[in-house]
Structure 1
Amino acid sequence: MVSSANPFFDPSTLPFGFPPFADIRDEHYEPAFERGMADQLAEIQEIVRGRDEPTFDNTLVPLERSGQILERVGYVFFNKSSSDSSDFTNELEERIAPKLAAHHDAILLDPMLYWRVKTIHDAIQAGGDAAAGLDAEQRYLVERWYTEMTIAGAALDDAQKRRLRELNQEISTLTTRFEKNLLNDTNELAVHVTDVAELAGLGEGEVSAAREAAAARDLEGWLVTLVLPTGHPWLASLTDRGLRERIMTASRSRGGRGGEHDNRENVLRIARLRAERAELLGFSSHAAAVTADETARTPEAVADMLGRLAPAAARNARAEQADLAAVAGDLDGGLRASDWSFYTEKVRAEKYDVDTAALRPWFEAERVLHDGVFYAAHLLYGVSFTERPDLVAYHPDARVFEVSNEDGSALGLYILDLYTRDSKRGGAWMNPLISQDELLGHPGSVVVNNLNVPKPAAGQPTLLTFDEVSTFFHEFGHALHGLFAHVTYPKFSGTNVFRDFVEFPSQVNEMWMLWPEVLENYARHHETGEPLDPAVVERIRESEQFNQGFATSEYLGAALLDQAWHKLSSASAEAITDVAAFEADALRAVGLDDPLVPPRYGSTYFAHVFSGGYDAGYYSYIWSEVLDADTVEWFKENGGLTRANGDRFRSRLLGVGGSKDPSRPTATSAVATPTSRRS
C-alpha cells in the first residue's frame, strides 16, 4: 500500500531541501516517478499550447521550472541505486529506465516545443527584438536548449522519431542491466581466503577489513572484494603470488565468464544500437554524435591526441617492464600482469627509497578529511565544515556536513559515504541531491561523495593508500564544483558542464594533495602524530613520473577501447560478434596490446562507458590535463594557495557552473589561457 504522504511530492523543509531520508520508503519511489513524469508532461503541454509569439519568458522560463518532483525523486533514487542498491532498486531501475527514456524523448522531440525554442534562437542570432533585454546567461540557455534538442533528433520526421524512441528505450534498459550485472558479478567474484598467511604484506587494518567483508557474508576467513578498475590496490603489497593472480583473474573476468551476469551480449547490443542511433541523427558514429556537443567537437581531434600519446606510453611501459624483470628475477612462467604493482614498489624503493604502501599510517582517513581535504578548501576559499549528525542520510555510514562561507553564511551540505559494501557499485563519484539555482529558489546545493575504502573492524583506524588519498581529493573537487556553482537556471547548476570539461576542476583539486602546506597539515602518523619525513616527501615528488608508462598505457588502452567501440558504423557494429577478439584487435591497432599492461577497464566491466555516461568520452580525463597543468602553474606563479587565488578560481570558473562555454577563450582565461591540447 502506498503512503498518502509521499515525501517527494512537496519540497523538503529540511536545510537546503535536504531529502527527508528518515521518511522515504521503497513504496514512495515509483509513484513519485509516475507523478513526476505526468506533471512535467502537463507543464510542457501548457507551454506548447500557448498562442503567443515564443519568448524567453513564456517558453524557456516555464521549461526550466518544469519537472521538480521528477528531479527530487530522480536524484535520490539514482544515488541510492548506485550506493545502496537492493533487489527492489534493481527491479525498479530496470522497469523505470525505459519509461524515463521515453519521457525525456517526449520533451526533447516535441515538435512544437522545438519550434518555439528554435524561433527564439533564430531571432537572437538575427539580433532582433527577441535578443533585447536578455543577458548572457539567458542567451546561452537558449543556445543550449536549441543545440541539445537538435542533436537529440527534434528535427527528424515522425517515422525517424519513432525509431529513435525505440532505440533510446532499449539502450536505457541495456545500460541499466549492464550496471546490475557488473555489481552482481563483482560481488560473486570476490576472492575468499581461508589462510591468513596468504594475506602477508597487508597491514593490520587491511586484514581487518578483509575479515569484516567475509563476516558480512557469513563466511569464515577473509574476503578480498574487487574494485572497479582492472588492478587492485592490494596487489602492490601481497607477497603471495598465487593470491595476486587469483585477484587479477577474478577482476578481468567480470561480466565475461558466462552465466546470468555475462555482459558480452549487452556490450555488443549497446554498441550496435548507439551506432544505428548516430546514423539516424546524421552522424557517422556515436563518437561523432557525442563529441559534436563537447569541447573536442570531433572524434578526429580525440584520436589525434590519444594517437600521439600511445606510442610513447607503450615504449615507456616496455622500459619499465625491463626494470621490473631485473628485480623479479627468474619467476615461474615469467612476469605477469598481476605482478606489476608488487615489483613496481620494489623498483620504486630501489630507485627513490619510497614505498607508497608503507605510507598508509600517515594517511588516517579522519585526518585526511579534516586536516587535508577540508583544510585545503578552507585555505583557498575560506569555507568551513561542521558535521550535522541531526540530519539522517540514506545509509548509516554516510555522514552529513554543513558547508559555510567565511562570513558565516551557509553554502550547502556535503555528504561523505566513504566505505565499500556489497550494495555499492565500484569506483568513486560525486552525485548532487539538490542543486542551487535562483529560479526555483534553491539557495544552495546538497552533494554526495561516494568512495570505496574497505572498512576495518570497530576500533581500528581507517588507513588510506596513497591512491585513495588522491581519489579523495579528486572527488572532493567535483563536490566543490557542485557546491560553488551559483546560477540562475537549473540547466546550468552544479557540474552540468561539458563532459570533457567536468574533470578539470576535480583534477586541479587533486593537485593540493602534495602541496607543502596541505601535506604537512594532514600527513601525520596515526599513532605518534609524527609528520611525514620531509626527505620522504621530497622523494615522493621526485618519483611522481615513475611508472607513468604503465599508468598512461592502461588509461589510454581504456580510452582508445571506448573510442573503438563508439567509432563503429552501424554496419561495422553488426559485424562484431566476439567482444574479446574486438578488444584485442583494437588494442593491437594502437600498440597497446601488452599482456602485462591490460587496459584500466575491460569491455565487460567498463562501467564508465556502458552504463555511466562517459560513452565516447572517457578521453576527458587526459583532455583536461593541459588545463590542469596550466592552472596549477598559474597558482604557483601567483603566490600559491592564497585566498585571493582561490576566490578568483571560484568566482571565474567553479562559480559559473555550466552557464558559460569553457571552450570559448573568456571562460578559462580567468586563471589560465591554454594555447594547445596535450602533446
Structure 2
Amino acid sequence: AKAAGQEKGLDGPVVTLSRSLIVPFLEFSDRRDLRETAYKAWAARGANGGETDNREIVRETLQLRQEQAALLGYKSFAEFKLETQMAKTPARVRDLLMQVWHPAKARAEADGAILTQMMAEDGLNGPLMAWDWRYYAQKRRRADHDLDEAELKPYLQLDQMIAAAFDCAQRLFGLTFQELSLPLHHKDARVWEVCRNGAHVALFIGDYFARSGKRSGAWCSALQSQRKRPSPRAPIVINVCNFAKPSGGAPALLSFDDARTLFHEFGHALHQMLSDVSYSAVSGTSVARDFVELPSQLYEHWLEVPEVLQKFAIHAQTGAAMPDDLLKRMLGAATFDMGFQTVEYIASALVDLSFHETAAPQDPMLQQAEVLADIGMPAAIGMRHATPQFAHVFAGDGYSSGYYSYMWSEVMDADAFASFEEAGGPFDLERARALQDNILSRGGSADAQELYVAFRGKLPDATALLHNRGL
C-alpha cells in the first residue's frame, strides 16, 4: 500500500482496487465502514456511469454475438462457441456446474452461519455482508487452523516461488533457466533463456508487479509461438501478474493464493514452451477453451508438494525453512472456505452461460440478478466477476460461454495429478513424459478428448474434484 501511494505521488499508503491489495485489506482491516467502502468500489467497477460504464457495451456485445450465431445457423451463441469445445453443448456445461453448485452452496451456507455468529460475538447483530466475509473467514482460519496469512507471507518470497516453479520444470521436463540482461517493455520485467540438454528451447519473460495503467489479473501470452514450418521458430512466452510491489528494496512477499497464481500461469507457459508442432496456428495454448486450463491448473498441484515448499519456502529475514508445523497447517487449510470460493466462481460461470444460451437480454444486469435469484445465491457472497467488469467474457470472446472451462479443466487436473500419485509420486518421470508427449507438446494438433485419453487411458469424472475441494 505504501508503494502504491508512492507510485501515485501521494504521502502515505493507498488501497487500490488491484486484487493483490484489496483482498488483504478486506481480510485484515477491522474498520467495517472502510471495508464496506472498499468492497462497494471494487464490486462497482465498470458500473459508475460516464464514459467508463460498461453496461451498454455488454448489452450491445451480447446482441451482436447472438446475431453472429444466427447468421451461422445456430440457435444461440453458446451452441456456436461450444461446438468445438470438449463440452460440446450448453446442457453438458450446466450439468457439470450444477453437480458442484449444490454441495458448494450447502458448505457456504454452513460457513456463513458460523461467520454470522462470530459477528454477533463482536457485537454486530445485522446480517453477514459481502465486505464482512473475508474478514471473519480470516479470523476463523486463524482460530481453526492456527494460521495467519501474515505468518505465511515471509516464507513465500516471489524470487523463491519463481525458483520453485523453475525447479519443478527441471525435475519433470529437464528444463534449465538462465536469467539474461535484455531490453524489455518495463524495468520490472525479467527474462530467462530456457534450455534442455544445452539446446535453446524458449525465452521466458516475467512481468510480476502491479502498476498504474496495467491491466488487472494474471495471464500468459506467446509473443512468438513455436512452429516447425515454414521455418523453425522457438517460442517467446510472457507471464504477467499483478503482485503488490514492495517499497524500500524489501523482498516481494506473496500470499499463498498469489503463489498459486504464479504456478498457474507458469503452467500455461510450459504449454507454450514445450510445444512441438508443425504450425503456429495449433501451437501451445491454441486448444479448446475448456482444455487450455488443464496444464495451468495441473501445475498448481506441485506448489503443494511438501518437498517443494521445504526447499523454497524460506523466511525473508532469517533464511530459515518453513517449520514443519506451519507447513502442515498451511496445507491442512487448503480447502478452507472452499464453499465461498466455489460459489463465487460458479455464479459467474452460470451468468456467462445464461447470457449466451438465450436471446440477448435488453438489460444484462436484470438478467444477472434473475440468474442469481434462481440458483439461490447467498446474499453475503458476490460473483467473482460481476458483469460490468467481467473481462474474461467481454474484453474479447475468448471465454464467452467458456468461463466454466476452469472447472471443466479442474475435473481433468485433479484426475491427472492423481495419476502421478498412483505411479511413483509427483516427480514420476514416466508420467511426466506422458504429460509432455500427449498434452504439452501437442497443442491443438489433435482432439482434446483424444489427447487426454492418450495421457490417462480414460476420461475423468467429478469425483476427484469434489474430493480435492473438500466438498
User: TM tier, shorter chain?
Assistant: over 0.9
**Is contact 2:20–2:244 with CA below 8 Å preserved after alignment?**
no
Pairing 1:274-313 to 2, within 5 Å after superposition: 274-313=65-104
CA shift for structure 1 position 473: 0.4
Opposite residue 345 of structure 1, the aligned amino acid is Q
In the alignment, which residue of structure 2 is the partner of 1:5?
none
Distance 1:229 1:515 in 2: 24
Q: Does 1:337 align with 2:121?
A: no
- Aligned sequence identity (%): 38
> Which of 135, 141, 144 is the equivalent residue of 1:351?
144
Distance 1:442 1:364 in 2: 37
In the alignment, which residue of structure 2 is the partner of 1:590?
375
1:12-68 Cα distance to aligned partner (Å, 9 max, x none): xxxxxxxxxxxxxxxxxxxxxxxxxxxxxxxxxxxxxxxxxxxxxxxxxxxxxxxxx
Q: Does 1:384 align with 2:176?
A: yes
In the alignment, which residue of structure 2 is the partner of 1:654?
440
Distance 2:90 2:462 in 1: 14
Describe the shift of the 1:408–1:287 C-alpha distance in structure 2 as closer, same or farther (beyond 3 A).
same
Distance 1:446 1:643 in 2: 26
In the alignment, which residue of structure 2 is the partner of 1:628?
413
1:423-479 Cα distance to aligned partner (Å, 9 max, x none): 211100000011111103233210000000111113111110111000000000000
**Is contact 1:256–1:264 with CA below 8 Å preserved after alignment?**
yes
Describe the shift of the 1:637–1:428 C-alpha distance in structure 2 as closer, same or farther (beyond 3 A).
same
**Is contact 1:267–1:610 with CA below 8 Å preserved after alignment?**
yes
In the alignment, which residue of structure 2 is the partner of 1:540?
330
> Which of 394, 399, 414 is the equivalent residue of 2:190?
399
Q: Name stretches of at least 5 consecutive residues in structure 1 with no aligned partner.
A: 1-209
Pairing 1:16-95 to 2, within 5 Å after superposition: none
Opposite residue 247 of structure 2, the aligned amino acid is A
In the alignment, which residue of structure 1 is the partner of 2:469?
none
SS in 2 for 1:502: helix
CA shift for structure 1 position 541: 2.5
Moved more, 262-271 or 235-244: 235-244
**Is contact 1:627–1:672 with CA below 8 Å preserved after alignment?**
no
Moved more, 214-223 or 285-294: 214-223
CA shift for structure 1 position 646: 2.0
1:235-280 Cα distance to aligned partner (Å, 9 max, x none): 2222222222222111111111111100110111111111121122
Q: Does 1:452 align with 2:245?
A: no
In the alignment, which residue of structure 2 is the partner of 1:369?
162
**Is contact 1:255–1:264 with CA below 8 Å preserved after alignment?**
yes
Opposite residue 558 of structure 1, the aligned amino acid is S
> Which of 325, 328, 344 is the equivalent residue of 1:554?
344
Runs of 4+ with >6 A deviation: none
Opposite residue 528 of structure 1, the aligned amino acid is T
Q: Does 1:211 align with 2:40?
A: no
SS in 2 for 1:431: strand
Describe the shift of the 1:387–1:451 C-alpha distance in structure 2 as closer, same or farther (beyond 3 A).
same
1:120-179 Cα distance to aligned partner (Å, 9 max, x none): xxxxxxxxxxxxxxxxxxxxxxxxxxxxxxxxxxxxxxxxxxxxxxxxxxxxxxxxxxxx
Distance 1:454 1:565 in 2: 34
Q: Give the TM-score, by structure 2 length.
A: 0.94
Higher RCO, 1 vs 2 (CA within 8 Å, ≥6 residues apart): 2
Opposite residue 444 of structure 2, the aligned amino acid is G
In the alignment, which residue of structure 2 is the partner of 1:24?
none
**Is contact 2:274–2:440 with CA below 8 Å preserved after alignment?**
yes
Distance 2:460 2:282 in 1: 26
Opposite residue 395 of structure 2, the aligned amino acid is S
Aligned length: 460
Distance 1:355 1:458 in 2: 24
Opposite residue 639 of structure 1, the aligned amino acid is G
Distance 1:500 1:230 in 2: 30
In the alignment, which residue of structure 2 is the partner of 1:438?
228
**Is contact 2:452–2:458 with CA below 8 Å preserved after alignment?**
no
Describe the shift of the 1:319–1:379 C-alpha distance in structure 2 as closer, same or farther (beyond 3 A).
same
Moved more, 476-485 or 453-462: 453-462
**Is contact 1:230–1:601 with CA below 8 Å preserved after alignment?**
no
**Is contact 2:202–2:236 with CA below 8 Å preserved after alignment?**
yes
Pairing 1:401-416 to 2, within 5 Å after superposition: 401-405=192-196, 407-416=197-206
SS in 1 for 2:75: coil
Distance 2:187 2:337 in 1: 38
In the alignment, which residue of structure 2 is the partner of 1:674?
459
Distance 1:454 1:384 in 2: 27
Pairing 1:173-188 to 2, within 5 Å after superposition: none
Q: Does 1:599 align with 2:383?
A: yes
In the alignment, which residue of structure 2 is the partner of 1:248?
39
**Is contact 2:18–2:210 with CA below 8 Å preserved after alignment?**
no
1:624-654 Cα distance to aligned partner (Å, 9 max, x none): 1121111111111111213333222112210
Describe the shift of the 1:229–1:607 C-alpha distance in structure 2 as closer, same or farther (beyond 3 A).
farther
CA shift for structure 1 position 305: 1.1
1:57-82 Cα distance to aligned partner (Å, 9 max, x none): xxxxxxxxxxxxxxxxxxxxxxxxxx
SS in 1 for 2:204: strand
Distance 1:221 1:659 in 2: 53
SS in 1 for 2:380: coil
Describe the shift of the 1:364–1:534 C-alpha distance in structure 2 as closer, same or farther (beyond 3 A).
same
Distance 1:360 1:675 in 2: 35
In the alignment, which residue of structure 1 is the partner of 2:277?
487
Opposite residue 609 of structure 1, the aligned amino acid is V
Opposite residue 148 of structure 2, the aligned amino acid is D
SS in 2 for 1:520: helix
CA shift for structure 1 position 530: 1.5
CA shift for structure 1 position 675: 4.0
Opposite residue 430 of structure 2, the aligned amino acid is A
Q: Name stretches of at least 5 consecutive residues in structure 2 with no aligned partner.
A: 467-471
Distance 2:21 2:153 in 1: 22
**Is contact 1:317–1:549 with CA below 8 Å preserved after alignment?**
yes
Describe the shift of the 1:228–1:585 C-alpha distance in structure 2 as closer, same or farther (beyond 3 A).
farther
Distance 1:222 1:580 in 2: 34
In the alignment, which residue of structure 1 is the partner of 2:28?
237
Pairing 1:72-221 to 2, within 5 Å after superposition: 210-221=1-12
Describe the shift of the 1:231–1:270 C-alpha distance in structure 2 as closer, same or farther (beyond 3 A).
farther
Distance 2:271 2:342 in 1: 26
CA shift for structure 1 position 219: 2.3
Q: Does 1:644 align with 2:430?
A: yes
In the alignment, which residue of structure 1 is the partner of 2:296?
506
Distance 2:22 2:292 in 1: 25
Distance 1:533 1:231 in 2: 29
In the alignment, which residue of structure 2 is the partner of 1:609?
393
**Is contact 1:256–1:262 with CA below 8 Å preserved after alignment?**
yes
In the alignment, which residue of structure 1 is the partner of 2:59?
268
Distance 1:343 1:335 in 2: 9
Q: Determine which structure has more spread, i.e. the larger CA radius of gyration.
A: 1
In the alignment, which residue of structure 2 is the partner of 1:30?
none
